[in-house]
Amino acid sequence: MSTSARFDRGHTDDLISFLTASPSPYHAVANAAERLEKAGFRQLRETDAWDGSAGGRFVLRGGAIIAWFVPEGADPHTPFRIVGAHTDSPNLRVKPLPDTGSYGWRQIAVEIYGGTLLNTWLDRDLGLAGRITLRDGSHRLINIDRALLRVPQLAVHLDRSVNTEGLKLDRQRHMQPIWGLGDPQEGDLIRFVAQEAGVDAADITGWDLMPHSIEPPSYLGRDRELLAGPRMDNLLSVHAGTAALAAVATSAAAEPLPYIPVLAAFDHEENGSQSDTGADGPLLGTVLERSVLARGGTYEDRARAFAGTICLSSDTGHAVHPNYSDRHDPTHHPRANGGPILKVNVNMRYATDGSGRAVFAAACEKAGVPWQSFVSNNSMPCGTTIGPITAARHGIQTVDIGVAILSMHSARELCGADDPYLLANALAAFLEG
């Protein structure tokens, strides 16, 4: 029996805890690392020399984590089985000069990150999270998880056409949250954050801060068969991949692994992945190559290992929307709680081909998990993922999969409550080989 059979509805309960505790990419990787440490993994620093002994390792860089487990007896040319995901979600990000306001309102200046649905941030109670950088170069995680900010919508009395012609939001003028009354004071926000963090404001020399909805994830529906929550694109996959890797590593002593299982969770997917922590950067390739070399391998071993490697790029996809069914392909109808989806686009916006389909189908069959196919309507542009980037940058066979959701890129998204569990099952079966 696959180790993935260990997962049950408790997996979704744990996902709720993970989403709540991960209001930023930095929190997400810290929480993933904590779970892996409990499974026996240990952190490696990129500036240290690495050894090639058996066991679990992980590397943290900003909002990214690469974790892998070396089985006993692994050769330098042993291929990898990779679960890829991303830690970032479309949202609002605090600007370098955050203190602004007018007409007696104190506001926070924000930039729009990624393709967020702007209207979903209106009239929500927002906290503030992320990280601060201190003068000595160290970082502190910040999570002010209480009602602090709000982006107020214009009253219908002052916009009579809003319900007939639609809401029109200017990204610069209409999305700046309020957080109090009075005149803006330079340095006010960072002094407040410093007080919350228990540090001197003068010691804060940098910050990566973002508002987040403080409404917790929750089961939804008559039979609680749905899950509503923030950042499921794509912390749902990060959580499932973390759980799958930990389960497979735990069972490796009883059942030797033919591959080296890997979790690669990147930052900055929502704005193109081009960063030192994004999938289009060198992080994954560097970590995998160093793992080969640490086990006494050569360039030839690296080439052999990469040639046999497969990556499942796990990201959320679109379930059929009952109110907009015409926006979907007429013959492909992914449904909530129907199992993970295989994402296909012949123009390589997704990296899946027929060979990859066979790999994914085999993993789902082994796990006893149903699965579905997704393609976009031909009349509409298709989104993309880290899948094609991973395939092209590293020459690694990649398959795009995920969980079907509604309200993608909203401040609060919706999925089937059983689908996270089913995805984790499939990922564990894939990592086992």
Q: What is the pLDDT of residues 107-131, one digit of tens each?
A: 999 999 999 999 999 999 999 999 9
Query: Given this model, what pLDDT does residue 37 score?
Result: 98
Give the C-alpha separation, 26 to 43, whole Å: 15
Confidence of residue 6 (pLDDT cuts 50, 70, 90): very low
| C-beta of residue 327 within 8 angstroms of C-beta of residue 377 | yes
DSSP-assigned letter for residue 340: -
| C-beta of residue 275 within 8 angstroms of C-beta of residue 267 | yes
Give the C-alpha separation, 82 to 97, whole Å: 40
| C-beta of residue 403 within 8 angstroms of C-beta of residue 423 | yes
How much of the chain exceeds pLDDT 70, in percent? 98
| C-beta of residue 286 within 8 angstroms of C-beta of residue 104 | no
Give the C-alpha separation, 45 to 365, whole Å: 38
Kindly report, residue by residue over 137-170, the tens digit of the pLDDT: 999 999 999 999 999 999 999 999 999 999 999 9
Measure the CA angle with vertex 199, ends 198 and 200; round to 5°: 135
Whether 253 has a pLDDT exceeding 90, the answer reads no
Give the C-alpha separation, 261 to 417, whole Å: 26
Residue type for 72, please?
A: E
Beta strands 105-113 and 91-102: pairing type? antiparallel
Beta strands 42-43 and 218-220: pairing type? unpaired
Query: Given this model, what pLDDT does residue 430 score?
Result: 98
Enter the pTM of the model.
0.96
Whether 26 has a pLDDT exceeding 90, the answer reads yes
Q: Which residues contact 372 (CB under 8 A, 6 or more apart)?
A: 332, 334, 335, 338, 339, 340, 341, 342, 404
Kindly report, residue by residue over 44-87, the tens digit of the pLDDT: 999 999 999 999 999 999 999 999 999 999 999 999 999 999 99
User: Which 3 state secondary structure label does DSSP give 111?
Assistant: strand
DSSP-assigned letter for residue 56: E
Give the C-alpha separation, 365 to 371, whole Å: 9
CA-based nearest residue to 209, from 140, 265, 147: 140
Confidence of residue 4 (pLDDT cuts 50, 70, 90): very low
Kindly report, residue by residue over 187-235, the tens digit of the pLDDT: 999 999 999 999 999 999 999 999 999 999 999 999 999 999 999 999 9
Kindly report, residue by residue over 369-408, the tens digit of the pLDDT: 999 999 999 998 999 999 999 999 999 999 999 999 999 9
Question: What is the DSSP code string of 241-261?
Answer: HHHHHHHHHHHTTTS--SSEE
Query: Given this model, what pLDDT does residue 24 score?
Result: 98
Tokens of residue 102, six digits: 């007018």
Confidence of residue 172 (pLDDT cuts 50, 70, 90): very high
Whether 15 has a pLDDT exceeding 60, the answer reads yes
Tokens of residue 204, six digits: 């804060």
Whether 312 has a pLDDT exceeding 80, the answer reads yes
Give the C-alpha separation, 138 to 206, whole Å: 10
Kindly report, residue by residue over 279-290, the tens digit of the pLDDT: 999 999 999 999
- Please give, one letter per residue, the 3-state secondary structure of 144-177: EEEEEEEECCCCHHHCCCHHHHCCCCCCCCCCCC
| C-beta of residue 101 within 8 angstroms of C-beta of residue 177 | no
Alpha helices in 183-275 (DSSP H): 188-197, 232-251
Confidence of residue 252 (pLDDT cuts 50, 70, 90): confident
Query: Given this model, what pLDDT does residue 1 score?
Result: 30
Rounding to the nearest 10 degrees, give the CA dihedral for residues 188, 189, 190, 192. Answer: 90
CA-based nearest residue to 217, from 14, 3, 363: 14
Q: Which residues contact 17 (CB under 8 A, 6 or more apart)?
A: none
| C-beta of residue 112 within 8 angstroms of C-beta of residue 127 | no
Give the C-alpha separation, 280 to 311, whole Å: 15
Query: Given this model, what pLDDT does residue 8 score?
Result: 61
Look-up: residue for tokens 């029109």? 168
Confidence of residue 311 (pLDDT cuts 50, 70, 90): very high
Query: Based on the number of CB atoms within 10 Å of its own CB, is 199 exposed (0-12), middle (13-18) or buried (19 or more)?
Result: middle
Tokens of residue 416, six digits: 């089937």
Give the C-alpha separation, 95 to 82, whole Å: 35
Tokens of residue 357, six digits: 């389909």
Whether 2 has a pLDDT exceeding 80, the answer reads no
